[in-house]
Amino acid sequence: MKDLEWWQRAIFYQVYPRSFADSNGDGVGDLNGIIKHLDYLQDLGVDAIWLSPHYPSPLWDCGYDVSDYLMVAPEYGDLDDFIRLLEGLHKRGMYLVTDFVLNHTSDQHSWFLESRSSRKNSKRDWYIWQNSIGGRPPNNWYSWFGGSAWEFDPATNQSYYHFFFKQQPDLNWRNPEVKAAMLDTMRYWLELGVDGFRLDSLGMIFEAPDIPDQESGMTQQELYHLSRMAKSRDQRMQVARASRKMFRFQMDLSELHGLLREIRQAIDEYPGKVLVGETELVEYYGSANDELHLVFNFPLTRMKKLTPSAVLCNHFSRLTKLPAGAWPCNTLGNHDISRLLSRYGDGNHDIEIARLCLALMLTLPGTPFLYNGDEIGMLDYLANDISQVQDQIGLWTYRMEIDEMGHSPEQALAYALEIARDKCRTPFQWDNSPNAGFCPADATPWLPVNSNYADGVNAADQTRTPNSLLNSYRSLLKARKLTPALVYGGFQPLKSPPGCLAFFRGGRGVSENCMVVLNMSKGTRVIELPIRNRITRLVYSTHSREKKLESFRILSLFPFEIFIAAVE
Ligand code: NOJ
Ligand code: CA
């Protein structure tokens, strides 16, 4: 069995620091809060943490607008706390991957303040400045987050480029000083001992230098209308095509591969570090393993329903596209999308469905990334009032709904809440005390706590309940660790009845092959095992199966059963 790198074996868990645990009663999660829960994380069975941005930020984009790459946000703690967090993880044999926001800084970053101060400033060219034409933006590009991609700056009579909010000006990575400064930033954290980076929005790093007008033939408002009206698959594809055309000159330029190779070389000066990119494009693995180590399988998060065919379509087409030697990376949740249970739950079998989602993450080939709170079944939280919405995308959507779609404030609120990412970022629910134990009872949490913490959606109650989702997480994570085939083995789908997904994981020198059967339906199912070999060990089942497994040829599956067995 060929040995694998730690990040190929590891189960990752994303911690959203603002919402994880508040240690000092200001209603905002912090590093000491995470440190206090390291035993929880270890006991859960995760091996590595991806920490969303921990840097100082004016929070226009909840930390993805960094104003100092070398510091810790004061509300999260200081560098000593960061080092204690890192040491606490390392002491437990765990790893820490930090978020690196490299496409843009905050407009409050000292680099940008200098850059905008004068055309002659030495950092002017660290950002992308262009002349405006007759009071109009330099071209017709849009920002992904709405409006023109250019912001006019009267002080110097030029406009700067921003792919996201205007509070997030894009860095000019073609300037060697920018590249050197950013690589030094990475080295700074590597020297401190971090184990790698999640590279934020890397596809947007370069845009066409001659800034040609985009020729989608429509305005962003028109695209918005089109996307709001799209019902059928064809219509949705039309929207996707129009959007690709609109942003064609602003993302995924081939020039990026050269830069990723340079970043990779810089990282490789520190053996054993990992780069995971916020992109789904498999070409960013590079060739001969020279760009990113991991590229997220985001298409999986876009499955409409959790069904065997949706998983298989995605997985097969994905696996066949991977460059030779590339290692898959699966996820079903993060801080930008609806909670997985809000997407896939049916309201009646939520725990069962959440378990299946986890089983899928842990048994498909590749590195799984889990999102904090999913282990206790946290759901999207929808605010009652627009004044509670913090995510600027939600506020922009609210305005678009009223101004462009002519919707009533109530209709606009309903849709804005769907789009705002606050819903999946609410405080972690630790117990059933006020504020769910996230912060003291008399503190005001930065986002409302979902009231379902009082109905068992919290870690303390679920720890005490043998069949809880949290305890299923613990036992499934443990089962994966004890079953090398689930990490090292090849992947072979097996013929299975409707609603069931069955596959074989094995070969590649593993000593014990494995069979996984996931009954995603609410009915019982019978599967005939197409394997000549004997079942030698029950690895995991959601149901009690004490009997002689070796005699099973025809297996009856309970509704929503997860059945994993070692086979000879
Ligand atoms: C992707 C991050 O995940 C998201 O939260 C952020 O808004 C954008 N990148 C911009 O940094
Ligand atoms: Ca705090």
Residue 547: domain span: 487-567
Say if 552 falls within a structural domain.
Answer: yes
Quick check: 532 pLDDT over 70? no
Question: How far is Cα 413 from Cα 504, in angstroms, rounded to an integer?
Answer: 46
The CATH number of residue 134's host domain is 3.90.400.10
Point out the domain boundary residue: 127, 161, 195: 161
pLDDT value at 445 more than 70: yes
- Average pLDDT on 411-434 reads 97
Rounded mean pLDDT, 6-28: 98
Domain count, the chain: 2
Tell me if residue 477 falls in helix, strand or coil.
helix
Q: Please give the average per-residue pLDDT across 517-522, as a whole number.
A: 96
Question: Tens of pLDDT along 146-177?
Answer: 999 999 999 999 999 999 999 999 999 999 99
The set of catalytic residues is: 200, 278
State the ligand closest to the CA atom of 439.
2
| Closest to 355 in 3D by CA, of 212, 547, 563, 65 | 563
* Residue indicated by tokens 């959203």: 16
Q: For position 338, what pLDDT does the model report?
A: 97
Do 513 and 503 meet the contact criterion of CB atoms below 8 Å apart? no
533 in any annotated domain: yes
Q: Which atom of ligand 1 is nearest to the CA of 145?
A: 7
Q: What's the CA dihedral at 398, 403, 405, 407 to 10 degrees?
A: 70
Task: Look at phi and psi of residue 477 and say left if phi exceeds 0, alpha if psi is from -120 to 50, else beta.
Answer: alpha
Domain-embedded: residue 540: yes
Least confident of 99-108, 179-188, 380-389: 380-389
pLDDT digits (tens, 9 = 90+) for 416-425: 999 999 999 9
pLDDT class of 545 with cuts at 50, 70, 90: confident
pLDDT top residue among 464 and 509: 464
Residue 14 within a domain: no
278 lines ligand 1 (CB under 6 A): yes
Q: Is residue 440 part of a domain?
A: no
Ligand 1 atom at minimum distance from 393 CA: 7
- Report, as an integer, the average pLDDT of 429-456: 98
Say what the pLDDT of residue 73 is: 98
Q: What sign has the CA pseudo-torsion 125, 126, 128, 133?
A: negative
Lowest mean pLDDT segment, chosen from 339-343, 384-388, 531-535: 531-535
Paired tokens of 498: 């409707």
Ligand 1 contact, 201 CB (< 6 A): yes
Please report whether residue 295 resides in a domain: no
Could you say which ligand is closest to the alpha carbon of residue 106?
1
CB of 61 within 6 A of ligand 1: the answer is yes
Kindly state if the Cβ of 331 falls inside 6 Å of ligand 1.
no
Residue 27 sits at the vertex; the CA angle it makes with 24 and 32, to the nearest 5 degrees, is: 40
Q: How far is residue 267's CA from residue 286's CA, in Å, rounded to a whole number?
A: 15
Specify the 3-state DSSP secondary structure of 391: coil
What is the average pLDDT score of the chain? 95
Q: Which ligand is nearest to the CA of 440?
A: 2
Give the β-pairing of 294-295 and 274-277.
parallel
Q: Is residue 446 part of a domain?
A: no
How far the first Cα of the chain sits from its last, in Å, is 16
Our answer on whether the CB atom of 164 is closer than 6 Å to any ligand 1 atom is yes
Reported pTM: 0.97
Q: What pLDDT was estimated at residue 317? A: 85
Residue 551: pLDDT band by 50, 70, 90 thresholds? low
> Ligand 1: which residue has its CA nearest to atom 10?
64
**Final residue of a structural domain among 96, 127, 161:** 161
Test site for ligand 1: of 164, 336, 391, 397, most ligand atoms within 8 A of the Cβ: 336
CA of 334 to the centre of ligand 2 (A): 22
**Is 86:39 a contact under the CB 8 Å cutoff?**
no
More confident position, 544 or 239: 239
Picking from 161, 177, 197, the residue at the C-terminal end of a domain is: 161
pLDDT at 550 > cutoff 60:
no
Contacts 24+ apart (CB under 8 A), 426-429: 426/19, 426/378, 426/381, 426/450, 427/19, 427/22, 427/29, 428/19, 428/20, 428/21, 428/29, 428/372, 428/373, 428/378, 428/459, 429/373, 429/376, 429/378, 429/453, 429/457, 429/458, 429/459
- The ligand 1 atom at the shortest distance from the C-alpha of residue 201 is 9
Q: Where does 16-79 show beta strands of DSSP type E? A: 48-51
Predicted confidence band at 459 (pLDDT cuts at 50, 70, 90)?
A: very high
Indicate if the pLDDT at residue 503 is higher than 60.
yes
Q: Is the separation of the CB atoms in 268 and 289 below 8 Å?
A: no
Can you read off the two tokens belonging to residue 205?
Answer: 């790093």
Distance 563 CA to ligand 1 centre (A): 37
**What's the pLDDT score for residue 232?**
93
Q: Which atom of ligand 1 is nearest to the CA of 103?
A: 11
CATH number, residue 506:
2.60.40.1180
Residue 137 lies in a domain: yes
CA distances 369 to 198, 295, 479, Å, are 12, 11, 17
216 ligand 1 Cβ < 6 A: no
Per-residue confidence band for 549, with pLDDT thresholds at 50, 70 and 90: low
